[in-house]
Amino acid sequence: MRAGVQRDVEIGLKVAAGQLEAVRRMVDQGVYCVDLMKQLSAVQAQLERVNRAILRNHLSTCVAEAIRAGQGEQKIDELMAALKYSGGFTGSDADLSSVEVLGASSCCAVENS
């Protein structure tokens, strides 16, 4: 992962964790359900921003490299399999049931460049 992206991801995850902890405290305090739902939506939106940053990094590094090496289809299939778990990218109505899950790749290990 590119260093700048890694920093942004780490910050984004800290923000989401803080938001989630605040929601947990709100539950303990018996805050109105609709207010809890709004705050949980904010947590989800923050996590989606983090996920998009990771996706952009993956596309511009691992996928681009795989395409240059003639292995683009495998990386695209792997990515589609991962995206089936992300409603923010695929929507709740997306049918990815025919996508097979591929093995884990070490391509996106953290690289401080």
* H helix and E strand count, the chain: 5, 0
For the chain, give every domain's residue range: 3-90
CATH fold label, 3-90: Methane Monooxygenase Hydroxylase; Chain G, domain 1 (1.20.58)
Which tops the pLDDT comparison, 2 or 98? 2
pLDDT at 85: 82
Which tops the pLDDT comparison, 23 or 93? 23
Concatenated DSSP letters of 24-60:
HHHHHTT--HHHHHHHHHHHHHHHHHHHHHHHHHHII
Would the pLDDT of 63 be above 90?
yes
- Tell me the average pLDDT of the chain: 83
pLDDT digits (tens, 9 = 90+) for 48-62: 999 999 999 999 999
Rounded average pLDDT over 82-94: 68
Q: What percent of the chain has pLDDT over 90?
A: 72
